[in-house]
Structure 1
Amino acid sequence: MCKGPKSKECGIWKYDLLNETYLSFEVNITQNVPSLKVKIIMSSNGKVMFRLQSNKLCDHLYLRPLLESFFNVTQDCIIQKGYYVFAADIENIAQTYYGGSFIYGNLTFKSVFNNNDCNLSCGLISVNLYPKKSK
């Protein structure tokens, strides 16, 4: 976890890491959260390798469906107040999307989700990706 840019938090998060790769999340969203912005940065050894930034998360082709799979989101892109639980195999996701062919090593992912009022989430995840073994 990290500190987001706003002084107010609109989500209370709990994370559990199992077997160093499987991450479970519990979040209590304390108010309805409209107009999310997102910033995701992937870096290796302090060098930025990938950056995604959007002031309108729900206009993003890939991120809106992801957001809707985790939270109760209205058509106007408001995340509804409530308690949510989900899990992900971080290493598997990173390996599937980023690693093995041309991106590997010690990678750090920083993500910030916030709006003008509060921080929904600020996370910092480090993973080790290895080259795919040839068959």
Structure 2
Amino acid sequence: MEKLAELQNESDIRGIAIATKEYQANLTVEAVRKIARGIINWLCQSGIKEKITMGVGRDSRLSGQKLQETMIEELTVYGVDVYDFGLATTPALFMSTQFSQFSCDVGIMLTASHLPYYYNGIKIFSQKGGR
């Protein structure tokens, strides 16, 4: 059973997205589905009453495209309007919450920065900053 709390660190969510000989994957498609639902729940508890808008982007990691597709699919199932930013930078996803032409309630960036190829992560930005 996946333990999602183990994926969270101080500023974002990171885990093994590609299984290796040494590590079992824990940032899986199913984990991303649950995380997407958790983000929606968090927004609803934060008082957002209107339609939720999110931007989702990724870096060039091997696992990024599938995790991004999964995130977008899950968000849209729950009625979220999603901007698919495709390959993007972390600052671009933050700015999607700041620029009026997007007005995203949340920007989600799939990246694990400097970590090895088998990692991936989820950075979450709101209109108030990073989470």
TM-score computed with the length of structure 1 as normaliser: 0.29
Q: TM-score, normalised by structure 2?
A: 0.30
**Greater helix content:** 2
Higher strand share: 1
